[in-house]
Amino acid sequence: MRHSFLAMALVAAAVGVSSAFAACPTASASISSEVVKTGSQDSLYPVVHLKDDAAVEAKINADIRNQIEDMKDALNYPYDELQVSYKLKYEGQSYVSLVLCVWTYTHRAAHGMPHYRGVTYSKDTGERASIRDFVRIGSDDAWRIYNLSVLSGSGKVIPKYQLFQDYADTPLSGNFYLAGHGQVALIYQPYQLAPFAYGMTSIILPANLVEELNEKNP
């Protein structure tokens, strides 16, 4: 309900968290936020700053805008409110990796609905990377990946009995972010692997598994 949005926003503000709903990630201080009006809501768009390379910086920020618009265009249901937020997941010498969140609310619905998309950019060229730039996963690798822990939006391991019974039959996600230390995280939307209360779920592929998969799948 609408009053629940306002209440959660006030709680978030009190603890220093973005008002972009508890279900959506909050912005990191290492990347500046541009406040953009989306209907009646204030959204936070990430703005990446690169030292001494204005052209690459502009290319990345233009694509981020395009990705957000694409996420909004993909919404195939009516909604009354929309808000955008993000979280910086990794920044290294060569890449910056974020998760974008587009949250919608339909009046009288039990809760809002967040949608997540990972975007990873080369800091050298400004190109958006694909998951295959970091890990090559074969169709027969699903069992290895689904044997790994599934993490909730808060980063806690979800007990197996709380996952959907057939979660391991879900097609492997190509939606990802870099988790640092050679790790790659697969992103799943709410309700894909677990109940809504767990938010965005993810499976982090450890560096040694990433190396094994890349050797196996040249």
User: pTM value?
Assistant: 0.86
**Which DSSP state fits 45?**
E
Instruction: Report which of 140, 214, 149, 145 is spatially closest to residue 173, judged by C-alpha positions.
Output: 145
Residues 100 and 158 grouped into a single domain: no
Residues 124 and 140 grouped into a single domain: no
pLDDT at 11 over 80: no
Residues 125 and 138 grouped into a single domain: no
Structural contact between residues 131 and 184, judged by C-beta atoms closer than 8 angstroms:
yes
Residues 86 and 152 grouped into a single domain: no
Q: How far does CA 133 lie from the centroid of its chain?
A: 18
- Count of domains observed in the chain: 2
Per-residue pLDDT of 66-108, as tens digits, reads 999 999 999 999 999 999 999 999 999 899 999 999 999 999 9
Q: Which of 108, 129, 150 is the last residue of a domain?
A: 129
Per-residue pLDDT of 134-192, as tens digits, reads 999 998 999 999 999 999 999 999 999 999 999 999 999 999 999 999 999 999 999 99
Coil, helix or strand for 106? Answer: coil
In angstroms, the CA 100 to CA 115 distance is 8
Residues 34 and 118 grouped into a single domain: yes
CATH number at residue 172: 3.90.640
Residue 48 structural domain: 2-129
